[in-house]
Chain A
Amino acid sequence: MSLFLHYLTLPYLLTGIGFTLEVTALGLAGGLVIGVLLAGMQLGRVPALAAVARGYAVIFRGTPLILQLVFAYDALPHIGLTLSAAAAAGLALTANEAPFIAEILRSGVIGVEAGQILAGQALGMTPFVLMRRVVAPQAIRAIVPALGNEAVTALKNSSLASVIAVPELTLRSTQLASSTFDFFSIFFASGLMYLMLTGAVSVLQLLIEATLDLDRGKKRAWFGWRVPGRQARVAPAVAAPLPTRGADRPAAAMAPAVPKPHQKAIHRSGRDEGEVVVDVRNLHKRYGDQIVLDHVDLNVRSGEIVALLGRSGSGKSTLLRCICHLEEGDAGIVRVGGRRLGHGEDGRKLTPREIARERANLGVGIVFQHFNLFAHLTAQQNIAGPLQWVHGLSAADADDRALSLLRRVGLEHRADALPRHLSGGQQQRIAIARALAPNPNVLLLDEPTSALDPELVEEVLDVIRQLAEQGGLTMLISTHQLRFARDVADRIVFLAEGVVKEEGPAHEVLAHPRHPLTARFLRVMGAEQLADIPR
């Protein structure tokens, strides 16, 4: 026991810890840098780079670290690169750690819901902003345990540097054992030292996890992530104005929400005179052998509200996504506000970054069936964030506007709630507020109530009804809610098998469908919904 304590406190062994930490730190830091690079290459759009990254992983993940150490130490000098033992060990550990760390990073990025990325794109975020504000914060939280694991592995792997004369803990232990013959006292002592080091890594990992925990309370430290919604909140009397885009767009249609009876259909007149804001011509789209959109033509005029009806799989969602260029048709042209999204003046295809800027300028908002709120941000941050990052609003203005929009959808009291603590209906109301925040010219709603429990449907429809009543906003809504369509829509477009089978004024199509498929659809969707439609 006294021998054990002697070796546990022996300066010779304790200074060996310094080399162990040096090699580990070099390996982890280098591995992280190369790992980010490799992960980026694999996630990027250039197949050649992805192949190079994959090849690197095959080689350095597939050969033993001990060989890589000997290579860095004994082979590199033959080409004139003589590194110190610790540097050679750091290099070998870097090369070895990089593919493992790259895979951890990649799994973190892939793990972020595709819907959130779609939502970020739709809100006009550039790939960089999307990565920094949406993907990275969530990916980092997800990968902390795996990175902690990797750090412990690297720390233990550093002991292999003993084969290339790095005077780290293991080398010193074995040499000391050889000269003193006190094998067990020495190895128990160095074992305990390793345990303390790996224990420290575990504690650090837990601390980081706790700090990043979104449920930790309101005073979260974010390691420097600037996130809106943290400022002291002063409820504004008037929403901060955004630059208006269309001449017919009032800057702020932000009157407080007023519960509105909806027994009566909202029939407005004069829509036909508005300019065409959405112009779809001959749009064709197929997934493999299946034709999803079969030469579709569609015009939506400014201020018009169009309900897209049709069975699941009839092409409604694809049509909406093509309009905001989240998907691209195989043929045909889509123009919004006269601009062809995704293509330059000369017809050249734009880069993702340019498309993002164009989306932000053009003012097309979309609300998804599955809400697609950013899971790591509160309700208010979900709305204020894109205003700040995409539209350049100050944090205070973005927060004010977010709050006034939350008030408008009746969720001001849940401003600080994370999406996972909100009901589906509440999430969708926030998603609508988020889409409205930059004052879009056109709002696309993709089955906004289909993912909701029946009792939550009405609260969302109410919000949309209010929007319709206030007027001015051009809306294209795909829905199965016939009564709702009758209440809010000026026009109904019925899609089946990727083809527009019938369109016309809402009450007319609902009451007197001309196409047999429309008639059958209306029958199937529940005639009882329409019992009170005048015939």
Chain B
Amino acid sequence: MIAADTFERTIRCKKSLFAIFSGTVFLLVMSAALPARAADTTLSGSAACLALQAKYPVLKGKTLVDALNPHTPGYEALDPNDPSHYIGFDVDLAEALGECLGFKLAYKPVAFAALLPTLQSGQADLVISDIYATHERAKAADFVTYSKVFDGVLVVKDNPKHITGINTTLCGDTAAENTGFVEVPLVQNLAPECKTAGKPEPSLQLYDNNADCIQAILAGRADTYINDVNTVDQAVKAYPDKLSKAVAVTLPYSIGIAIAKTKPELRDAIMAALIEVQKAGVETALLKKWALDAGSLEEPQILKQ
């Protein structure tokens, strides 16, 4: 048991080392390719960003409202040392985009299921909150994607139910999920498969945030919680004696920045800025800073319907 744990940690450690290594290489390559940047390393001073600021002057000096569901340490959560502000990869990414385009950010914490409605009602300008850009969601908002999705399967310590992913090993088990998560329909869709296999279908418990889902497993109410692998890792780190990560799975989604359909100009500006942020190696550096898998970096794309 200890051996397995150590093994896993070693693997993760190796992954992080790899991330640091690849990030560094990437930065080196980028700086070599763009020698002009050596003079001014800040995004706001880069020629590309200055050009964008000139192209989208309405954004400069403005304060945009970023709706987030701050229950995902690593992506967005309160700073435990100073709860008056939010920290995480998404927050840093938002600030980088703001730096490039010249806007400031205010954060609005809402429930996960309320992220897109908040955007639609005009109470927020954008959503950068570890939200997966699905075609369903693209009906409510346009997305600019920035990362691949890797999910982890959080289970009770040592996986007594032998769950190996969103498959028939979940039959008869209870999964805790957040309302509005893409994993919800995936688990629901297992029902016919379980039936064919002569097993009871999996049941779902819907909560409002990661904390409640994790508590559901700790309290013995749920068997698993499937979410972004980093979130799962953080939970295991917080409760190493009670929780395990069964496995990581890849989902066919990208993580995206949501922008109201009524603001195509803002969407295009974000898209352009994201390209620059990635080019400057900032996203990679942030993945490293927040100990996220550098392999999840993805070229930006616009998803709209």
- Listed in ascending order, the chain A residues whose CB lies under 8 Å from chain B are 10, 12-13, 70, 73-75, 77-78, 82, 85, 163-165, 167, 171-172, 174-181, 183
Nearest residue in A to B80 (C-beta to C-beta)?
A180
| Cross-chain contact of A73 among B121, B210, B239 (Cβ < 8 A) | B121
| Cross-chain contact of A176 among B78, B122, B215 (Cβ < 8 A) | B78
Check B30 for interface membership: any CB of A closer than 8 A. Answer: no
A18 to chain B, nearest CB (A): 14
Check B73 for interface membership: any CB of A closer than 8 A. Answer: yes
- Interface flags, B12-29, vs A, CB<8A=1, else 0: 000000000000000000
B69 to chain A, nearest CB (A): 9
Nearest residue in A to B212 (C-beta to C-beta)?
A174
Nearest residue in A to B84 (C-beta to C-beta)?
A12
| Those 10 A-B pairs whose CB atoms lie nearest each other, nearest first | A179-B77, A178-B71, A12-B83, A181-B238, A74-B121, A179-B78, A178-B211, A77-B121, A180-B80, A77-B122
Check B109 for interface membership: any CB of A closer than 8 A. Answer: yes
- Listed in ascending order, the chain B residues whose CB lies under 8 Å from chain A are 67, 70-73, 77-80, 83-84, 108-111, 114, 117-118, 120-123, 208-211, 214-215, 235, 238-239
The answer to whether B239 touches A78, judged by C-beta atoms less than 8 angstroms apart, is no
| Cross-chain contact of B73 among A70, A174, A178, A183 (Cβ < 8 A) | A178
- CB contacts (< 8 Å) of A172 on chain B: these are 83
**In whole angstroms, how far apart are the Cα atoms of A10 and B80 in the complex?**
11
B194 to chain A, nearest CB (A): 32
- CB contacts (< 8 Å) of A82 on chain B: these are 122-123
**In whole angstroms, how far apart are the Cα atoms of A165 and B70 in the complex?**
11
- CB contacts (< 8 Å) of A171 on chain B: these are 109
19 additional A-B residue pairs with CB within 8 Å, beyond A74-B123, A175-B78, A180-B80 = A10-B83, A74-B114, A74-B120, A74-B121, A77-B123, A165-B123, A167-B109, A171-B109, A172-B83, A174-B209, A174-B211, A175-B77, A176-B80, A177-B211, A178-B71, A178-B73, A179-B70, A179-B77, A183-B211
The answer to whether A178 touches B78, judged by C-beta atoms less than 8 angstroms apart, is yes
Contact (A175, B71) CB under 8 Å given A12-B83, A73-B121, A77-B121? yes
**In whole angstroms, how far apart are the Cα atoms of A82 and B123 in the complex?**
8
A5 to chain B, nearest CB (A): 16
The answer to whether B123 touches A178, judged by C-beta atoms less than 8 angstroms apart, is no
**In whole angstroms, how far apart are the Cα atoms of A174 and B123 in the complex?**
21
B26 to chain A, nearest CB (A): 29
- CB contacts (< 8 Å) of B83 on chain A: these are 10, 12-13, 172, 175-176, 179
**In whole angstroms, how far apart are the Cα atoms of A27 and B42 in the complex?**
48
Nearest residue in A to B73 (C-beta to C-beta)?
A179
**In whole angstroms, how far apart are the Cα atoms of A317 and B186 in the complex?**
79
- CB contacts (< 8 Å) of B117 on chain A: these are 70, 74
The answer to whether A178 touches B121, judged by C-beta atoms less than 8 angstroms apart, is no
The answer to whether B123 touches A73, judged by C-beta atoms less than 8 angstroms apart, is yes
A70 to chain B, nearest CB (A): 7
Identify 8 residue pairs between A and B in the complex whose beta-carbon atoms are under 8 Å apart, listed by A's number: A74-B117, A77-B121, A77-B122, A174-B209, A175-B77, A177-B211, A178-B70, A179-B73
- CB contacts (< 8 Å) of B214 on chain A: these are 181
B205 to chain A, nearest CB (A): 17
- CB contacts (< 8 Å) of A70 on chain B: these are 114, 117
The answer to whether A74 touches B118, judged by C-beta atoms less than 8 angstroms apart, is yes
- CB contacts (< 8 Å) of A74 on chain B: these are 114, 117-118, 120-121, 123
